[in-house]
Structure 1
Amino acid sequence: MTETSTPTSAKPQPDAKVYRRRRIIVFTTLAVLLGLLTTAGVYTSNALGAPIPTAAPQVEDPAPIAAAAQPLVLPGFGAYAVGAVGFDGLLAAGNDQTPMALASITKVITALTVLSEHPIPAGETGPDIAYTDADVDIYWDMIAQNGSVAPVEAGATLSLKESLEALLIPSGNNYGISISNWAFGSEAALAEKANAWLAANGLVNTHVVDSSGISDDNVGTAADMVRLGEIALEDPTIAAIVASKSVEIPELGTLTNSNKLLGTHGIDGMKTGTTDDAANLLFTADYAVGSSTVTVVGVLLGGESHAVIDEAIAAMLDSVVPGFHEVAPLTANQVLAEYDTPWGESARARAATGASLVVWNDTPVDVEVNADPITLAVRGDEVGTAVVRAGSKEIIVPLVLDATLADPGAWWRLTNPGALDEQSAQSGTE
């Protein structure tokens, strides 16, 4: 018997439209998720790699410091000028551009000219000079001209330093000529060399015709004489000689300084000058001011007598000295700028050291703070400078950070896109 099979029921097939719709939803969802993941990855990468926002300094500029002007007691005659080593210009002056007869101040020019070609090393006395009958004749000739002299003996041998002592301390005119003959062959040759030396050193309003100043044609201005005194102090041989009240030279005996103010009112040099009509004094003086020493250089030309100019110079110096004062516009660790970061850290820029300087009279002292913008920094980093200025004087003090400004970390970067975007925009425009 043949079996007859019964047909099996067929499974229902999904609608094609429904299938396509499901597939679109799946892939769309996957695309969105992938896009979101990509966007998140890009954001994260950008946020973590973005530059750190810069912290700008909030600067605290100290106020300028200026003392009240110091009244001065000035001579009412002649030509005068007063300066100080390391200070701008002249502290006081009157008729300082008027050429005046220098008299024996000329001997300082002679000494500097000789030493420019025959320098004496520190601690030594220089070459020997033999004195002869010709030098004795020069001595008597100066006596006949009523010039100041220092003793000399034929056959004596003096060092160059001893010879300069005889020139500058008792103001021996005869030694000016004798030294000129030894150094350059004649006094006229010395005068030529001296005028070249004056021009080379910028003393253009000063001119000499002899070695001693016996002629009134040896002239110079008070302003030039202040500079001359400063140059002379730079030579240790001359500085030591003009500060000596007296010296003992075996061949000559005791030589006494003609500067009667020496050792008073702080005066430690430099040279008298006397003409038939007037008295002059080129002077130097040292004063302790705070932790420093101030060297004053001045001159008074054309006084009636040495007694008159000595009194005027003493009064002038006594009024000048109080005008010097020490100012300390900065102290070590003084806060000069502050930094606040967008992520909440802060630090301050402090002066690495203190600063002090001596100023004259009402010269203002100013502090300029130059603090740098910073991002990340370590405590002790230099972040700028403070510049202290008084006239041409300038002191530069480093600024150092007193705390570390560390990286804000990933979480802050991811949660503060605005700060990062702003920094990126600023970096792009710089």
Structure 2
Amino acid sequence: MTELDAAAAKAKVYRRRRIVVFSAIAVVIALITTGGLYTANALGAAVPAAAPQVTDPEPVAAAPQSLALPGFGGYAVGAVGFEGLMAAGNESTPMPMASITKVITALTVLAEHPIAAGESGPDIEYTDDDVDIYWDMVAQNGSVAPVEAGATLSLKESLEALLIPSGNNYGISIANWAFGSEQALVEKANAWLAANGLANTHVVDSSGISDDNLGTASDMVLLGEIALRDPTIAAIVASKSVEIPELGTLENSNKLLGTHGVDGMKTGTTDDAANLLFTADYAVGTSTVTVVGVLLGGENHSVLDEAIAALLDSVAPGFHEVVPLEANQVLAEYTTPWGVSARARTADGATVVVWSDTPVDVEVRADPITLAQRGEEVGSAIVRAGTQEISVPLVLDAGIEDPGAWWRLSNPGALD
């Protein structure tokens, strides 16, 4: 081999080595570049959400309450804040209301002449005309309350004379003062009934002396609930008696008052029947339940009161307190793909008062979570019982922290 050939061979080997070296460098650079991108992506990716494993409490329901129902008339029993009626019979049949009409009269007057809490309202001066009304009611064998010409009574005292001894004469006298005539009050009262949803009730006078004053038992329950919202009426109908200087002592015609939980509301008596619109309060756990009911068409008040007492004594035990949720109760659990666990607990307990076999149900709404702090709200538990609904927040009992770089780099398929 000549020197020229040897030089050419040496140059060829050098070129091959340079190609290999630069090829290796290119591969290394590519690997570094690709690895850097993967690392950046892995460390910056969002971690997957952990789905909750929910525990739904079983619904709670008691046995149906057995009731002692009247065997006569039209009746209905409800409770403030509770849906529907606890008991009912002939509740859609219009029947003479008698002096329950006076509650409508009082509410109609107070709608235009309200009495502020703790006050007695405007004064009413009574004259010889009011005395004549008194004697006219006596002639019609209607119930009356005493009146004197020249006496001045507050509106509250006048309503006490109307509602406590059931003075028919005060219905007319108050109507004349408030609206100019009894007929004007009747028109106002029927408009008030329509506006308040008592579509099956109609009045023709201020006292109920006419049998054409008609209402249904279901309407009477609504009437009683509306009356309880007015503090003046609520206080009057709960009074066994009142002392009015110009009139003396007025005794309540409701003989059930103060017994069987009864604390109101109004008697009604016709030549053919006895009625009572009644309210009663019962302690149930830490709450008080207000029952509103009516019985129309009793033979007399003795028979009527006995039937109402038995009915109320059977209704009251049907209300009971249920605790569907305890505070700190676990309702959902979380486990992350990187092995961290936490539980969703109730922030508070929940207590509801229910009637009879009304079911109490709990719906758990827990959200999926990624990273979260201890005590963070992650959903709610909804307690439902009839129309009652209580929402209790769910909070985490442990934090969910980022899994860190090593887990991220070693679990590429778990990252978003």
Normalised by the length of structure 1, the TM-score is: 0.95
Tell me the distance in 2 between the aligned counterparts of 1:239 and 1:373. Answer: 51
Q: Choose from 59, 79, 94 the match for 2:54.
A: 59
| 2:15 counterpart residue number | 20
Aligned-pair CA distance for 1:23: 1.9
Tell me the distance in 1 between the aligned counterparts of 2:16 and 2:358. Answer: 90
Q: Deviations over 1:77-122 (max 9, x none)?
A: 1000000000001111000000000000000000000000000000
Tell me the distance in 2 between the aligned counterparts of 1:192 and 1:302. Answer: 26
For residue 384 of structure 1, give the secondary structure of its aligned residue in structure 2: strand
Q: Choose from 87, 96, 100 the match for 1:101.
A: 96
- Flag the structure with larger Rg: 1
- In structure 1, stretches of 5+ residues that fail to align are 1-8, 425-430
Tell me the distance in 1 between the aligned counterparts of 2:275 and 2:29. Answer: 100
| 1:309 counterpart residue number | 304
For residue 379 of structure 2, give the secondary structure of its aligned residue in structure 1: strand
**Counterparts in 2 of 1:7-406, with a 5 A limit?**
13=7, 14-406=9-401
Aligned-pair CA distance for 1:344: 1.1
For residue 15 of structure 1, give the secondary structure of its aligned residue in structure 2: helix
Q: Deviations over 1:313-363 (max 9, x none)?
A: 000000001100000000000000001011111100000000001000000
| RMSD, aligned CA | 1.1
Q: Deviations over 1:351-381 (max 9, x none)?
A: 0000001000000000000000000000010
Tell me the distance in 2 between the aligned counterparts of 1:270 and 1:257. Answer: 10
* Counterpart residue type for residue 31 of structure 2: L
Whether 1:414 and 2:409 are equivalent positions in the alignment is yes
| 1:3 counterpart residue number | none
Tell me the distance in 1 between the aligned counterparts of 2:265 and 2:180. Answer: 27
Tell me the distance in 1 between the aligned counterparts of 2:178 and 2:271. Answer: 29
For residue 36 of structure 1, give the secondary structure of its aligned residue in structure 2: helix
* Counterpart residue type for residue 141 of structure 1: D
For residue 225 of structure 2, give the secondary structure of its aligned residue in structure 1: helix
Aligned length: 413
* Counterpart residue type for residue 376 of structure 2: D
For residue 121 of structure 2, give the secondary structure of its aligned residue in structure 1: coil
Aligned-pair CA distance for 1:17: 3.0
* Counterpart residue type for residue 110 of structure 2: L
Tell me the distance in 2 between the aligned counterparts of 1:302 and 1:15. Answer: 129
Q: Deviations over 1:277-325 (max 9, x none)?
A: 0000000000000000000000000111101110000000000011000
For residue 68 of structure 2, give the secondary structure of its aligned residue in structure 1: coil
- In structure 2, stretches of 5+ residues that fail to align are none
Identical-residue share of aligned pairs (%): 81
| 1:427 counterpart residue number | none
Aligned-pair CA distance for 1:42: 1.0
Aligned-pair CA distance for 1:19: 2.5
* Counterpart residue type for residue 230 of structure 1: E
Tell me the distance in 2 between the aligned counterparts of 1:12 and 1:276. Answer: 145
Tell me the distance in 1 between the aligned counterparts of 2:31 and 2:319. Answer: 75
Runs of 4+ in 1 over 4 A off after TM superposition: 9-12
